[in-house]
């Protein structure tokens, strides 16, 4: 069996390298000749832990190669069963919430002349439900179409491909299922759960998963808003909720919210598709999920302004983080950069540092300042912002950072720094969804009533009257 991968962006490059790692001969196809040249040299055009080594190893083995010409596909697959994976991006349509399917459609149209009847086209891109049926009609009798949605997490993409949590095959025939079982035989032998279903359900699995994860993140951030109004602590609330096996702790992390190239655009596209299907009222909650997520960014700006005395004019702000999440250099819809840019527009001088995403951030936000280290970014700062929770930031010495700042003020947008450790070094620490402990301590100090070190024992008998 030969495998081709159409589109070598984040999904496609990772999938191609992993398929070669499984022993298949793989041809990656992309119309971007510069990207093809880099991949052919074993250089991924983005950061993903472990991918550079895997890519170089498979290119050097001869099992993996890349091309910018669709004509090479027919020669590569001649005389052998072929599975063609569509891994083309589906960004948000400009000026609308719906998914832009032009790239998928164009890629398929260019692939169709190279197909043979023995070929199987497998969609992995995230698309609105109903797209696969339309694409199958576009292919006609030239080949068969199946859908095998991806569930990659940036920062964990290789493991998610080689050892997935589950596999979903949307198929029309037993032959399509059989070919996909051959592709994933290693994972299936190890007992990875498999769901075989129709095309529409396979499409819905991906968007439903993203909608659920987005809702879970926004739920705990909605609780953060309640905590800020009541003086409660959202991190302790989340910890208590996570012990309920029906809820669990994954994605129940309060903070600055989600971003990247998947969750935001996918829930908006799901809403748009719901409107087209006449079930817009069913998915209305996703609009509030999106709104809660965006409000966390605005609240982070407000908290920072408070720490700057009510105005950003003439203030210097250090922004630790630019990628939308650690383990990635992806800055698409990054909450960190959204906050940094908003503060800069309101008059502050903002300096950004990120272990991997500075170059990408600079391309998208050239007006911001950039540093080569966390300490350099913090030098002369009136306030330090923790915006992307890279492990590097948790390991910093608060005293060492405090020695280079103008004032020791920290706003933790990810709730992952040890606030007690920073306070012990003389820092004022604020965080999303958590009370101002300095203010609360002063309020407790003014209380003149009795202080109970522990709750009274309600089971003990009442004292006898003399």
In tens, the pLDDT along 143-182 reads 999 999 999 999 999 999 999 999 999 999 999 999 999 9
Q: What is the pLDDT of residues 236-282, one digit of tens each?
A: 999 999 999 999 999 999 999 999 999 999 999 999 999 999 998 99
Shared domain check, 184 and 221: no
Note the helical H segments in 243-333.
263-277, 285-307
Whole-number pLDDT of residue 176: 97
CB atoms within 10 A of CB 268: 19
Shared domain check, 289 and 214: yes
Whole-number pLDDT of residue 376: 98
Q: What interhelical angle do 199-230 and 285-307 show, nearest 10? A: 40
Q: What is the pLDDT of residues 342-387, one digit of tens each?
A: 999 999 999 999 999 999 999 999 999 999 999 999 999 999 999 9
- The confidence band for 118, taking pLDDT boundaries of 50, 70 and 90, is confident
Percentage of the chain exceeding pLDDT 70? 94
17 domain residue, yes or no = yes
What are the tokens at 143?
């080949």
Which of 197, 220, 250 is a domain's end point?
197
Shared domain check, 249 and 261: yes
Q: What is the pLDDT of residues 192-211, one digit of tens each?
A: 999 999 999 999 999 999 99
Residue 331, SS3 per DSSP: coil
Q: Which of 18, 227, 262, 308 is catalytic?
A: 262
Using an 8 Å Cβ cutoff, are 424 and 216 in contact?
A: no
285 domain residue, yes or no = yes
Shared domain check, 142 and 227: no
Dist CA 411 CA 398 (whole Å): 13
449 domain residue, yes or no = no
Whole-number pLDDT of residue 116: 85
Whole-number pLDDT of residue 278: 96
Shared domain check, 388 and 279: yes
Whole-number pLDDT of residue 424: 97
Average pLDDT over residues 202-222: 97
362 domain residue, yes or no = yes
Shared domain check, 409 and 296: yes
Whole-number pLDDT of residue 437: 73
Residue 242 belongs to what domain range?
A: 199-440
Shared domain check, 431 and 313: yes
196: which strand partners? 169
Class of residue 306 by CB neighbours under 10 A (exposed 0-12, middle 13-18, buried 19+): middle
Active site residue 308: no
CB atoms within 10 A of CB 329: 20
**What is the strand order of the sheet 120-123 is part of?**
64-67, 25-29, 2-6, 82-86, 120-123, 144-147, 167-170, 194-197
Parallel, antiparallel, or unpaired: how do β-strands 64-67 and 25-29 relate? parallel
Which of 197, 229, 246 is a domain's end point?
197
What are the tokens at 178?
């059989």
Average pLDDT over residues 403-418: 97
333 domain residue, yes or no = yes
Class of residue 450 by CB neighbours under 10 A (exposed 0-12, middle 13-18, buried 19+): exposed
- For residue 449, pLDDT over 80 is answered with no
Which helix or strand (DSSP H or E) is residue 377 part of?
helix 374-378
Q: What is the pLDDT of residues 127-139, one digit of tens each?
A: 999 999 999 999 9
Which helix or strand (DSSP H or E) is residue 353 part of?
strand 349-353
- For residue 65, pLDDT over 80 is answered with yes
Shared domain check, 411 and 344: yes
Question: For all residues of the chain together, what is the average pLDDT?
Answer: 93
Shared domain check, 413 and 268: yes
Shared domain check, 227 and 137: no
448 domain residue, yes or no = no
The predicted model scores a pTM of: 0.90
As a dihedral over the C-alpha atoms of residue 278, residue 280, residue 283, residue 288, rounded to 10 degrees, the angle is 170
What CATH number has the domain bearing residue 146?
Answer: 3.40.50.720
Q: Name, in order, each residue with C-beta under 8 angstroms of 216's C-beta and a sequence gap of 6 or more.
A: 251, 252
Shared domain check, 276 and 154: no
Shared domain check, 368 and 277: yes
């Amino acid at each position: 069996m030969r495998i081709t991968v159409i589109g070598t962006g984040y999904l496609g490059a990772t999938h191609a390298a992993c398929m070669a790692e499984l022993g298949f001969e793989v041809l990656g196809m992309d119309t971007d000749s510069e990207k093809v040249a880099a991949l052919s040299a074993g250089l991924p055009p983005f950061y993903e832990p472990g991918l550079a080594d895997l890519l170089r190893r498979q290119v050097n083995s001869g099992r993996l190669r890349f091309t910018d010409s669709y004509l090479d596909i027919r020669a590569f697959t001649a005389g052998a069963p072929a599975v063609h994976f569509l891994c083309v991006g589906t960004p948000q349509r400009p000026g609308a919430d719906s998914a832009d399917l032009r790239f998928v459609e164009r890629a398929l149209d260019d692939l169709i002349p190279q197909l043979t009847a023995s070929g199987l086209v497998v969609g992995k891109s995230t698309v609105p439900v109903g797209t696969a049926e339309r694409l199958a009609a576009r292919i006609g009798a030239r080949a068969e179409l199946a859908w095998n949605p991806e569930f990659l997490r940036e920062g964990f993409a290789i493991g998610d491909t080689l050892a997935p949590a589950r596999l979903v095959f949307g198929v029309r025939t037993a032959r399509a299922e059989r070919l996909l079982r051959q592709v994933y035989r290693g994972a299936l032998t190890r007992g990875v759960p498999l769901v075989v279903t129709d095309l529409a359900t396979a499409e819905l699995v991906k968007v439903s998963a993203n909608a659920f994860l987005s809702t879970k993140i926004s739920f705990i951030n909605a609780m953060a808003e309640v905590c800020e109004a009541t003086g409660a602590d959202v991190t302790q609330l989340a910890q208590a909720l996570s012990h309920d096996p029906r809820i669990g702790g994954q994605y129940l992390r309060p903070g600055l919210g989600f971003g990247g190239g998947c969750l935001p655009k996918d829930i908006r596209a799901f809403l748009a598709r719901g409107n087209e299907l006449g079930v817009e009222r069913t998915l209305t909650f996703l609009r509030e999920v999106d709104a809660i997520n965006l409000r966390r960014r605005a609240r982070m700006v407000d908290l920072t302004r408070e720490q700057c005395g009510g105005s950003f004019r003439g203030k210097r702000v250090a922004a630790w983080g630019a990628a939308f999440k650690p383990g990635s250099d992806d800055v698409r819809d990054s909450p960190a950069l959204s906050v940094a840019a908003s503060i800069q527009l309101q008059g502050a001088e903002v300096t950004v540092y990120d272990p991997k995403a500075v170059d990408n951030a600079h391309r998208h936000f050239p007006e911001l300042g950039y540093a080569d280290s966390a300490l350099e970014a913090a030098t002369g700062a009136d306030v330090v912002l923790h915006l992307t929770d890279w492990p590097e930031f948790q390991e910093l010495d608060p005293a060492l950072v405090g020695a280079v700042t103008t004032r020791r003020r920290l706003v933790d947008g990810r709730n992952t720094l040890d606030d007690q450790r920073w306070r012990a070094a003389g820092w004022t620490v604020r965080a999303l969804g958590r009370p101002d402990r300095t203010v609360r301590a002063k309020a407790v100090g003014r209380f003149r009533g009795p202080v109970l070190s522990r709750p009274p024992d309600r089971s003990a008998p009442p004292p006898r009257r003399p």
